[in-house]
Amino acid sequence: MQGIAGRIQISEIVQTRTKLSEFLTKLKKAETETTKRAERLWDTKIRTEADIEPILVEVESLIGAFENLPLDLDDLQLMRRAVRLYQKDYTRLSDDNLSWREFESLTEEIRKEWIATLGEEEPPWLPGDIVENFVQEISKRRKQASAAWIVSIEAQVDAIPSMVAEDANRVYSRVIRPSPLVTEAHLKRAAIISRKVEARLEALSVDWLLEKFKELPPKAKKDFLQRAQQLGDSRG
């Protein structure tokens, strides 16, 4: 068309050539930008859950653009597989019902699963680095929750000697049923408080017994009263 336009100045040909030239320029620019986006993925970091979703969205977007480029498409599909795997296992590690021992055991299990799944393939975010990032971030949050729990318990220590049975029993119930997130160090501090509350409850033994009775379901209350009556009759 350029050759024809050079010999014959037809306005329609000139206009069409201009439009095609502009289109090709835009296409080249879009291609360059898409390639840069793909290259930037190799510089991204995954440290926390917040980093995962934007990367996954970008990978999914680029897969369609590279569908006719097998080598690039293979890289992007590997990235997608890795990111989805990391996202799923971050959720598993974030379960607040895991004890610290279970958390550590699951971490090792996930390490092995990632090695088996990804093999010798190397996505931009290496499994060993990612699991360490996840463990650090989630452990920090778990420790903060543990610290908040023990602080709230210890804030009531000074009031224990004057607590009524209901309040003492409430504190005791919290101390003996700690969250799985509570660390070993904080459990030791809680054990000291537990002994103090037990001493207070022993001093209020009758009142404490009544508080425990209130917690029983109706059938258990009935059984308790019958046994108490039998005990009283036998001693009488």
The answer on pLDDT for 48 being more than 80 is yes
| Averaged pLDDT, 2-10 | 54
Q: Which of 121, 143, 165 is the last residue of a domain?
A: 143
Residue 207 has a pLDDT of 77
In angstroms, the CA 144 to CA 141 distance is: 5
Q: How many domains does the chain have?
A: 2
CB 137 within 8 A of CB 173: no
Q: Is 133 in the same domain as 170? A: no
| Within a domain: 2 | no
| Averaged pLDDT, 190-209 | 89
| Within a domain: 198 | yes
Which backbone phi and psi does 94 adopt, to 5 degrees?
Answer: -85, 0
| Averaged pLDDT, 167-194 | 95
Q: Is 135 in the same domain as 179? A: no
Q: What does the pLDDT look like over 109-143, one tens digit per residue?
A: 999 999 888 888 888 899 999 999 999 999 999 99
Q: Minimal CA–CA distance to 167: which of 197, 209, 206?
A: 197
The answer on pLDDT for 7 being more than 80 is no
Q: Is 134 in the same domain as 185? A: no
Q: Is 47 in the same domain as 132? A: yes
Q: Is 46 in the same domain as 138? A: yes
Would you place residue 71 in the very low, low, confident or very high pLDDT band (cuts 50, 70, 90)?
A: confident
| Signed CA dihedral, 155, 159, 160, 163: sign only | negative
Q: Is 119 in the same domain as 212? A: no
Q: Is 124 in the same domain as 87? A: yes
Q: Is 123 in the same domain as 194? A: no
Q: Is 167 in the same domain as 226? A: yes
Is the model more confident about 232 or about 98? 98
Residue 236 has a pLDDT of 56
| Within a domain: 91 | yes
| Averaged pLDDT, 63-67 | 75
Q: Which of 143, 176, 206 is the last residue of a domain?
A: 143
| Within a domain: 217 | yes
Q: What does the pLDDT look like over 96-105, one tens digit per residue?
A: 999 999 999 9
Is the model more confident about 195 or about 118? 195
% of the chain with per-residue pLDDT over 70: 83
The answer on pLDDT for 27 being more than 80 is no
Q: Is the pTM of this model over 0.85?
A: no
In angstroms, the CA 1 to CA 17 distance is: 7
The answer on pLDDT for 3 being more than 80 is no
Residue 184 has a pLDDT of 96
Mean pLDDT of the chain: 85
In angstroms, the CA 66 to CA 63 distance is: 5
Buried-exposed string 115-135: b where 16+ CB fall within 10 A, e elsewhere:
eeebeeeebbbebeebbebbb
Q: Which of 143, 169, 188 is the last residue of a domain?
A: 143
Q: What does the pLDDT look like over 213-224, one tens digit per residue?
A: 888 899 988 888
Q: 174: domain range?
A: 156-236
The answer on pLDDT for 14 being more than 60 is no
